[in-house]
Chains A and B, each alone.
Chain A
Amino acid sequence: MSSVIDEVPRPSEKSGFGSFESSTPRSLIGGLSAAAAWSMVAALTAFWPDKLESDWAYTGSFAIACGVLAVALALAAFAGVRFVAFRRLQRLSPWLFALALFFVAWEAVTAKLGLLPLPFFPPPQAILEVAIDDWGRLAEGIFASARLLATGYFIGATVGFVTGVAIGWSRLAGYWIHPVLRFIGPLPATAWLPLAFFVFPSSFSASIFLIALATGFPVTVLTWSGVACVKSAYYDIARTLGATQRFLVFKVAIPAALPHVFVGLFMGLGNSFAVLVVAEMLGVKAGLGWYLQWAQGWAAYANMYAALLLMALLCSGLITLLFRLRDRLLSWQKGLVRW
């Protein structure tokens, strides 16, 4: 392992890389620095003895995983000299390097020096242990959360969108729905929780209702304001060209309102995450939220961190997905925010 560390390229040693460096020395240096940093994590985990009273089952596996990552990064760095595809990794190498430093610090203050109190702050290998030993339940949790969220969000977004278009388009719909929306909309969806859990036949359907409610309000309001903001000149143009009401709604009002609708969809998605976790903790006996609480109850903090990490991945993944969809549908807009 220590021989890998020796490979750390320093600026003064550049000449040691011979003919490569003239073409892409920086990507090579970046990649190899990251590789070196990760091999340091591996070496530190493997050879620095743990603090006496602790025994972590997966210390070796964690060291090996870091070592494998280090080798992979080194290979990718060399491959980057030849293949452009690997060069994209160059942009990541500062992050990979910093992440390795974070792991070194984490490993040091937990398993090695025991500076942070247990069981609240387990070392990284404990989380790896959870991932390996408890992946079945974690996978079930992700699946349950994703299913609940997707169902509730889809229903809420659809109902919200349709309601918003109706209020924006029809005076009659506006007259009847607007007051209800104003009265009930600002209420946090979680306030319905006690009621929902005894009105609905199952906690699952109650949670779908709550998530749909949390999603639906911002989607409705923003769709409505989007439709209401459509320039009347757009309608004039279409009307003089022979457009029907149907055409005006579907080909003018809705496309023109779409940027607003997406703002609503993003806000709704954020709201739905919050409600999902609360609903899972309080009612549904499944999903990552429930897993979180269960882990906390058993003081299984490593499990809690693992679930937290997965939840962050799930939420961030869904937001990314929504951004992708928006970028596709609204490619005509100037200056979109990149996610």
Chain B
Amino acid sequence: MVAAIASDHAVRGSTLTLREVSHRFNFEGQPLPVLDRINLQVGRGEFVALLGPSGCGKSTLLRLVAGLDTPTAGSLLTEGRKIEAPDPSRVVVFQDPTLYPWRTVWSNVALGLEARGLLRTHRGRIEDALRLVGLTGFANAYPHQLSGGMAQRAALARALVNDPKLLILDEPLGQLDSLTRITMQAELVSLWQRSSFTALLVTHDVEEALLLAGRVVVLSDRPARIKAEVVNSQPYPRHRGDPHFVELRREVFEHLGLDEAW
């Protein structure tokens, strides 16, 4: 299914380095520190999850990685080069699907190719991406005709069509019902395995982080600092009931300071 999307290179993921990244907002005249000296090294083709309570600064961090904002201090590098502006090799799936309401699903997915003038040569990818997320029959639908989950899948297709080297996922499954969510989690993993991009996933769902990622980075409350890293080297597909999985989950909860509640 993903053949056309995954074709080109053998190893296509890019590396990502965060060095002492700090960020502050101005909120009602007061400085609001959101990120506090984050250091992170993500290897080529790795799947890393950032786990933290809501409002701790995860989305902010992803916007820095995408190049949409510049950090107050520290630097971000990909393939050894500084991230200064957005680049289509780093594609974001935002928390909110934000499809363009005036475009059909098909032309929403076509957005990246159109923006880069590749629509004529890479047209076929759009069909592939739609098939991948199960929206083939809805190519001509407008966003207001989609359910929340379908819109989120369309947003995922819009990202995948660009053949990213780094896929940045900001709670992309947060709005899905639990059934679709489980299917999409499996889809994400197999997609990542087949196309070997580097994936950076933000989530506040401990199980999701452990199911998908090889490494879970636990963040503190705002301002976000890295509290711990939990490595999960279990093979895919992973099972929630597996004793080792349960053990890892307990460990992560402990890092989050929630062991008693659990």
Which residues of chain A have a CB within 8 Å of any CB of chain B? Answer: 231, 233-234, 236-244, 247, 251-252, 255-256, 258, 330, 332-334
Contact = CB atoms under 8 A, between A and B. Distances in A.
B162 A241 contact: yes
A334 B102 CA distance: 11
A252 B103 CA distance: 10
Majority secondary structure, B binding face: loop
B86 A240 contact: yes
A313 B200 CA distance: 62
A242 B98 CA distance: 17
Contacts of B103: 255, 332
Contact of A255 (B88, B96, B98, B100): B100
27 contacts: A233-B96, A233-B98, A236-B94, A237-B98, A237-B100, A237-B158, A239-B86, A240-B86, A240-B88, A240-B91, A241-B91, A241-B112, A241-B158, A241-B162, A242-B86, A242-B88, A242-B116, A242-B162, A243-B115, A252-B100, A255-B103, A258-B102, A330-B102, A332-B103, A332-B104, A332-B142, A332-B144
Nearest to B108: A237
A332 B98 contact: no
Nearest to B68: A236
A13 B162 CA distance: 72
Nearest to B116: A242
Q: 5 tightest A-B contacts by CB?
A: A242-B88, A241-B112, A243-B115, A239-B86, A240-B86
B153 interface: no
A331 to B, nearest CB: 8
A241 B87 CA distance: 7
A241 B88 contact: yes
A233 to B, nearest CB: 5
> Which of A234, A243, A330, A334: most chain B Cβ within 10 A?
A243
Interface residues of B, number: 27
A226 to B, nearest CB: 12
Contact of B115 (A242, A333, A334): A242
Interface of B: 63, 66-68, 86-88, 90-92, 94, 96, 98, 100-104, 111-112, 114-116, 142, 144, 158, 162
A233 B100 contact: no
Contacts of A234: 98, 100
Contacts of B111: 237-238, 241
B90 A240 contact: yes
A251 B67 CA distance: 21
A240 B66 contact: yes
Contacts of A243: 115
Which of B91, B102, B103, B144 has most chain A Cβ within 10 Å? B102
Contact of A233 (B67, B90, B91, B94): B94
Nearest to B63: A236
Contacts of B142: 332
A263 to B, nearest CB: 16
Contact of A240 (B92, B101, B102, B144): B92
A241 B68 CA distance: 11
Nearest to A243: B115
A249 to B, nearest CB: 12
B94 A244 contact: no
A44 B86 CA distance: 79
Given A240-B88, A252-B100, A258-B102, A247 B115 contact: yes
Nearest to A247: B115
B170 to A, nearest CB: 11
Nearest to B114: A251
Contacts of A240: 66-68, 86-88, 90-92
Nearest to B87: A242
Most B Cβ at <10 Å: residue of A240, A332, A334:
A240
A116 to B, nearest CB: 53
A244 B92 CA distance: 17
Q: In this complex, which of B63, B101, B144 has the most chain A Cβ atoms within 10 angstroms of its Cβ?
A: B101
A142 B104 CA distance: 41
